[in-house]
Amino acid sequence: MPPADPPPDLIVPDGYTLHSENTSHILLPSDNGAFLNPVQEFNRDLSVACIRVWGEQMDETKKLKWEQERERKAQKAESKAKKQKLDDGKEREVEELATEGSEQVVEAAKPKLEYRPSQFVILEALSATGLRSVRYAKEIPQVKYVIANDLSDLACEAMRRNVELNDLHAKEDITEEGSSTQIRREAKVRVNEGDACALMYNHRTSKNRVDVVDLDPYGTAAPFIDAAVQCVNDGGLLCVTCTDLQVLATTNYPEKCFANYGGLPLKGEYCHESALRLVLHSLATSAARYGRYIEPLASLSIDFYVRLFVRVKTSQAEVKKLVANTASYYVCSGCQSFYEQSLGKVKTSVSAKTGDTNYHYKVNTGPPVSDKCPECNSIFHLAGPMWSGPLHDKNFIGKVLDHVEANSDKYGTSPRMKGMLTVAKEELDSVFFFSPGHLAGTFHCIAPSLHDVTSALLHAGHTVSRSHAVAGSLKTDAPRSAIYSIFRSWIKNNPVKMEKISQTSPSRVLIEKEPAFEANFKHHPGATTKSSAVKLVRYQQNPLPNWGPGSRAVSGTKRKRPADA
């Protein structure tokens, strides 16, 4: 959707530029005192849609509990009335006749109880210009108010200006139309200048918690995660962005990645998915310290950053299951095959007496593989520990997708939102992906088409899906040995020039092995999904020249570490 026209009486002051996004307008200082990246519009659109759908789900849950509570009270009252029956039926009948009229009057006088839709509070810990907070307040109907925080006085000054520009500030002595009553309208966006962690720690008690916390820093969100998982309500939503993919998605800074996220990164084509899993690991372990656990609703690798939406709940029993959803990975340095080493395992038993399921947690055995790769004889590198559970809640993503399709005109990036959400909804829960084009380079052969590889995997009895993280990638439940057998079968029909491959190359070892089975590349009906028949913008194209994270704001204010305070 094109941005709405700014107010006709708006005068842009010297030294400022007007930026419009959907129905919101903000003034940006030319001195870069507050950071804004226009390319992140997709992030903001996606966040608005996900928070709206989460809010609707939360309201449905609260309404169901309210109805159940009313029904319980009605049954209790009915049961109490039955117990108070008099032994003498005649006397009771006379009494009922005498009081019937008065009871009807009292019943009619009682106000009819109706469920009131719930509202929620959002805390944006690092708001910069305030555009995200302004959009939340204007575009999400269930929002009660938004707390927009920043440490920089320049950023807070910009936020106050932008909040007033969008008429979301507090107003004194507003007269209701057609009435002499004067009321005060509270601010829909409440600006706070201060340290983000201090603010969130001040909201960690049960009565002060907020419903949604949004962390969208410049770089890593690691310093703010501990405070965030404590200040969000039970069942609340935590939205996290990390743009430090040079740490998360490469092996250039393993010590930094371990310090920030508690795990080691990996080097491979699926490094962007491992980045998501490392951030989820950090969120899950941080929450577990306080008897809380996470449910990933949508975990997306987008452009130069990762964006995650997780529901935070409280349950000691669920926290125990984290050990089975955490794993380290042995990643081959030659062919990038990987082997999972789960940190723990869970065994279940059903009680014969009560029928309840009992969980038993055990340490795991290992390692899952020898010291050399069984496929190419190369050494392994260790990655993790990281989250090994599902990245998405398919039901939640389906509802977000339905919402976007029904409100395409309200989001400027709706075509791309539909494409990415469609791929994420169809994505398998298996760990990591592979690209036929990338593997063809490893095997030094002509690249088979996605359709050919998909058909071969399906004919072999495996399931396949696309991955949202990288164009031309596939996820499957097939082991790497089966994928390599398919490529060896492909090479038999499309020979490789072996004289061009070094005698010590891992590729030669891969190629010289015989396939474990003969792959069938004929068309499989399941190779074409319903969504693939529709033209969708599944992957991003360069929106601007030299686009990327952008330059950090020159605010003159830096968050101090405890030693410097």
Q: For every one of its 565 residues, what pLDDT tens digit does the chain have, with 9 covering 90 and above?
A: 667 777 777 778 888 889 999 889 999 887 665 667 788 899 999 999 999 999 999 999 999 999 999 999 888 888 887 777 655 554 555 455 445 555 554 454 455 688 899 999 999 999 999 999 999 999 999 999 999 999 999 999 999 999 999 999 998 765 656 666 667 889 999 999 999 999 999 999 999 999 999 999 999 999 999 999 999 999 999 999 999 999 999 999 999 999 999 999 999 999 999 999 999 999 999 999 999 999 999 999 999 999 999 999 999 999 999 999 999 999 999 999 999 999 999 999 998 888 899 999 999 999 999 999 999 999 999 999 999 999 999 999 999 999 999 999 999 999 999 999 999 999 999 999 999 999 999 999 999 999 999 999 999 999 999 999 999 999 999 999 999 999 999 999 999 999 999 999 999 999 999 999 999 999 999 998 766 656 666 666 666 565 556 656 555 555 555 555 4
Whether 481 is in a domain gets the answer yes
Using one digit for the tens of pLDDT, what is the confidence trace for 232-247?
999 999 999 999 999 9
User: Does any domain span residue 164?
Assistant: no
Q: Report the alpha-carbon distance of residue 422 to residue 419 in Å, rounded.
A: 5
Inter-axis angle of helices 414-426 and 41-83, to 10 degrees? 60
**Helix %, strand %, coil % of the chain (to 5):** 40, 20, 40
One-letter amino acid for residue 533 of the chain: A
Instruction: Count Cβ atoms below 10 Å from residue 348 Cβ, excluding itself.
Output: 8
In a domain, 486, yes or no: yes
Could you give the residue ranges of the DSSP H alpha helices within 166-266? 196-201, 222-231, 245-248, 254-261
Predicted pLDDT at 90: 47
Q: What angle do CA 196, 140, 137 make, to 5 degrees?
A: 50
| DSSP character at residue 543 | -
Q: Residue 105: its pLDDT value, please?
A: 46
Does a structural domain hold residue 489?
A: yes
Predicted pLDDT at 240 = 98
| 214, part of any domain | no
Please state, in angstroms and rounded to a whole number, the distance separating the CA atoms of residues 240 and 296: 11
* Rounded CA separation 17/471 (Å): 36
- What are 259's strand-pairing partners? none
Separation between Cα atoms, residue 165 and residue 156, nearest integer Å: 14
Sign, CA dihedral 328-331-336-340, equals negative
Q: Which SS3 state, helix, strand or coil, does residue 276 take? A: helix
Query: What is d(CA 367, CA 238) in angstroms, rounded to the nearest whole number?
Result: 35
Q: What is the CATH number of the domain that holds 482?
A: 3.30.56.70
Q: Distance (Å, rounded) from C-alpha 125 to C-alpha 196?
A: 5
Distance (Å, whole) CA 409 – CA 81? 55
Domain containing 443 equals: 433-533
Token representation of residue 251:
């092996």
Residue 442's pLDDT is what?
95
Number of compact structural domains in the chain: 1
- Phi/psi for 552 (5° steps) reads -65, 145
What is the reported pLDDT for 181?
A: 67
Q: Is residue 467, in this structure, part of any structural domain at all? A: yes
pLDDT for 98 equals 47
pLDDT value at residue 28: 87
> What is the rounded CA–CA span in Å between residue 73 and residue 84?
17
Tokens for 303, please give them: 């452009």
pLDDT of residue 78: 83
Closest CA to 427 of 384, 461, 472, 394: 394
Contact partners, residue 109, CB within 8 Å, separation at least 6:
none
- pLDDT the model gives residue 106: 45
Residue 485, domain member (yes or no): yes
d(CA 380, CA 343): 18
Q: What token pair was written down for 483?
A: 């994928």
Give the integer Cα–Cα distance in Å for 392 and 467. 12
Q: Is residue 526 part of a domain?
A: yes
The residue written with tokens 């809010």 in the block is 55
